Amino acid sequence: MNSEYSIKLDGVLIGTTEFEKHDAPMGVVLGKINFKDKEIGYNFIKDYCQKNNLELAFDEPDDKVISTMTMENLKVTNNNETEIKGVGNQITGMDSDEYEISIFGIAYPFYEEEFPHHVRDYENMFNSDGKNDAQQYL
């Protein structure tokens, strides 16, 4: 069961995510953004980055595809208002499809405490019985 996380920009709620994807060993979570306002998309994100002198990783105005670099004032919190902090974050997407948020470099043990299902999912990739093969050598 995934939890819902609040996404705030400059302290204003812009949407939510469930962080349904992951790269557990790298401390990464990713998830579809469910924007609070249907008007939030390419133009909103590009305007925000331009006004705040934030670098874009990718920008394709014709197709309205965008990918940001880390946005310092973008905060994601769980339902206890604990911020999910990492080394950086990114919003990527396009108006004709969907947008995704990623947070990377989340430190352990916080990652394991907040996302135990992602850690289990990763460990289960190695063995059908859920045990990591490397543990037998310890």
pTM of the model: 0.89
Answer yes or no: is pLDDT of 129 > 70.
no
pLDDT over threshold 50, residue 138: no
17-61 residue pLDDT tens: 999 999 999 999 999 999 999 999 999 999 999 999 999 999 999
CA distances from 89 to 70, 96, 101, 130 (A): 5, 22, 7, 30
C-alpha to C-alpha distance for 113 and 41, rounded to whole angstroms: 32
- Rounded distance, CA 39 to CA 43, Å? 9
